[in-house]
Amino acid sequence: MKESDSFYIINREEWKKLNKYTEIALSDQEVESLRSLNDQVSVKDVKEIYLPMLQILNQYIKHYLNRQKDIKKLLDRPQTREPYIIGIAGSVAVGKSTLARFLQTMMARAYPKKKVSMITTDGFLHPNEILKKRGILSRKGFPESYDMHRLITFMGDVKSGKRHIQVPVYSHRLYNIVPDTFETIDQPDILIVEGINVLQLPANEKIFMSDFFDFSFYVDAEPDRIEKWYLERFGLLLHTAFKDPTNYYYPYAVGDREEAFKMARNVWRTVNLKNLEEFILPTRFRADMIIHKTTDHYIDQLLLKKH
């Protein structure tokens, strides 16, 4: 195991030896249903990567629960239950959603008596109408495109145990917030929060989103690889959009395919890559664990922060 000043650096061969969760398994069908459009996750990855990850998280959660109990006893406070919150950051198309879904499923099995919930910060994007009015629709995903005050308020409400918290729903099919549609977060024991912005430090807030995290991940890959995955995903979205005129991608799906990909490459270069380099990548070393991917989403290395 190699080390840096801040992280243990663990290659895949070392990492897979940590797996002690022999009783937890996912079938091929479950793996297929959990992974994102073009993410190449297999049952082997579950055994070699995700189950050892669960082993590490279990140690952090046990420490968190014991510390909470001891502090409340010392302060003579009631033994209330605060959720354990996990953040997942990284670029567009790098596989954050896949990680979030796998973690939710496996943690629900590892802790059958606990409620494990998941949200994406996409729901806290301003609606397209507001972005257009402010002239920043082309900067969707950049820090100013999010309602950060609402997002920070949500995180505080969850941590303080508030019930039936409503979260706006974002639709990639519509490329917008779905009007008058919400999902409800109701006192989870574990909450997984996935989004490109979760480790960022917004300029106008005194409290940061990451202040609420008990553990955080950053999914990492070389920008050239992420661009390839982004364009592959775009192609898959076109393949599913051509039958649905209400789909945001429908005009691209029924139009000239070469022009559509020219547009997608331009969006990658002027929006997603710029956002990655300026705002997302600089947050990488704020994470507790960095998951490094190489060709075809293959995880070759994991970095665990020394605490």
What number of residues does the chain have? 307
The pLDDT assigned to 1 comes to 57
Mention every residue, 6+ apart, whose C-beta is less than 8 A from residue 179.
Answer: 127
Alpha helices by DSSP H, 121-222: 128-133, 148-159
State the average pLDDT for the chain. Answer: 90
Please compute the mean of the pLDDT values over residues 251-255 and round it to a whole number: 91
Q: Are 222 and 297 in contact (CB under 8 A)?
A: no
Beta strand 84-90 pairing with 190-194 = parallel
Q: How many CB atoms lie within 10 A of CB 68?
A: 16
Predicted confidence (pLDDT) per residue in 9-54, tens digit: 999 999 988 887 666 667 767 766 776 555 667 778 888 898 899 8
Per-residue DSSP letter, 263: H
CATH topology of domain 2-305: Rossmann fold (3.40.50)
- pLDDT over 90 (residue 128): yes
Q: How far apart are CA 214 and CA 303, in angstroms?
A: 17
Instruction: Classify 247 in phi/psi space as left (phi over 0), alpha (psi -120 to 50) or beta.
Output: beta
Predicted confidence (pLDDT) per residue in 157-197, tens digit: 999 999 999 999 999 889 999 999 999 999 999 999 999 99
pTM over 0.85: yes
Beta strand 190-194 pairing with 116-120 = parallel
The percent of residues in the chain predicted with pLDDT above 70, rounded, is 92
220-225: long-range pairs with CB below 8 Å, 24+? 220/90, 220/94, 220/284, 220/290, 220/291, 220/292, 220/293, 221/91, 221/94, 221/292, 221/293, 221/294, 223/91, 223/273, 223/276, 223/277, 225/293, 225/294, 225/295
Residue 225 pLDDT class (50, 70, 90 cuts)? very high
- pLDDT over 70 (residue 77): yes
Domain coordinates in residue numbering, the chain: 2-305
Q: DSSP of 265-286, one letter per residue? A: HHHIIIIIHHHIIIIIGGGGGG
Q: How far apart are CA 174 and CA 171, in angstroms?
A: 5
User: Which residue would you say has higher pLDDT here, 242 or 203?
Assistant: 242
